[in-house]
Structure 1
């Protein structure tokens, strides 16, 4: 398990609720290990700041390059296990108040999830409907999906700070379902060992139906077929 690393430029990490144990290494913004180690990549945050991450044995070490006009901003970092949070000072309040998604600042998870600068050139967000930016309306949550080019995200952050639209700002993230609990619960591993693999068995996939009036589906269904004869 990777040890926790804390880098603070004159402020306590406790400001936004990320505790730093006594074993943490603390230094100025530039005191982040220098060169060497294994380079994991870089990611541009929603604030426009760019964070590079290197791995030194059991430690993840970030180096922060503030966005344009953000040289005055201070950064606090904390991490444990595979998590590494790098949070600019102008985002601490939003995290504390619960209006900013913490995943927006977990740089290790962002890199693993394919949000690094080498993987994509925008920052995908889910915003309240009244927030700045043009995107895809999400009626079910009263919001919209917006992909902000990383070259524009620093300016977008300033605008967003002035008007968040009265709701929470989320990372438009991907969910990866896991079957590690449900499959053993139904005894599938034991069936596989007994030779019941499903080979040669014909399978039909049936859907019990959808609510065509749902805001996310209305006027978006290209075709459907009712096999019940009941019109349901």
Structure 2
């Protein structure tokens, strides 16, 4: 057994597990004593060890072997990942380990996985987390123009939705319980609040607290229990159910601290985003006070529209999770939305009544990126009503490209800024990718090569558009980046109708000198009444961690 301490976490790693961890086939979190000692994990120890096992092939022997292992219980099958969620009593964990690694009788060498096993994950715990509005998104003006999300479906995967609240009566079209709770009732109050922000009618308040997209309908997937905790496997099962029910948007106002690499929920989000037109909108998390790298998972998923929180003056909330993403220093969040003191529907007798601030009969104010995410989900529903043939990733690109950046923040803090439906409804040009992450470079920078990334503009409209391009960068000190640090190759591009045109963006880290930290920029393309903004960023490190 080897004891390791990394970034404030203590790991106890058996010698026969190290090889599998290094191969990426065994989840390091299974040996994270710091995480596993948290109250929500200790409370589940009596139920045994919870795993998600992904397989290779349709009928690997390890799958049937694990199901036959003493004490093992297959709790659910996750078809998106070709995986099973399994519970194993602690006293039977050795038998499960032998089955999955082939350590007994299969000829597999010690420290290797059975050939039919792809990866063994911890079935981690996710939490819904309010930290203790709507006009800021441009939704009222969208409704005046006739867009309220009609025809779109938003899946709220959360603590349940109280459909008896007048604002949510008739909004829900299906519900299902994936949690360990006995029913779909919202005893936390989080899901009800989130659903009303996204698609509440405001009926109880005479319209004062109308949600962003009151014309949209809600799928209610309860994926956390009555204490606000839920397993990865429950979240993935809810995601699969939502997609099967043709959700246009899936709102995930839940999460857990991220780790480098991809976890099973991130994998499911990315896979289904690629295979369907569904957009996953995910709260960035409320760990912003921890500083850089505080984005939660699954907000860290590549394809997710990751949403941070701002107040009514567009100031970044101190709790809002910020990047760069752990492992590769990618840009997250993608955008921000109102998330401070947000009024929403109150589920009677729920925990939200104690945590929130009453603002009116049947309403409570809560703060958190959990409240920001449904603003973006509602905005996405409105865009889907306006453009029913656009994909989820195109909707993400529009919301990202038309956002308004706040003053004094870099892309790792706000993405491209607060969502702006007024601009988004006018948009017909998107950037691909929607942000440009250049990773990290370590000192000395004198020998650094130029970093180049291609930026493509796609015209979704029926007429050619000519765009004028510019780039403005800032350094870690908030001052303008040195001239030439960020450059864009073309100053003018014409994009044909239903076509594309590309340019490249270059970063020269040699010009940063001895000033280390996050350098950010916005590439702005304007023309023909269109605006597309793309965030770019790179991190300059003092030394290479691998050689320090």
* TM-score, with structure 1 as normaliser: 0.47
Bigger helix share: 2
Bigger strand share: 2
* TM-score, with structure 2 as normaliser: 0.21
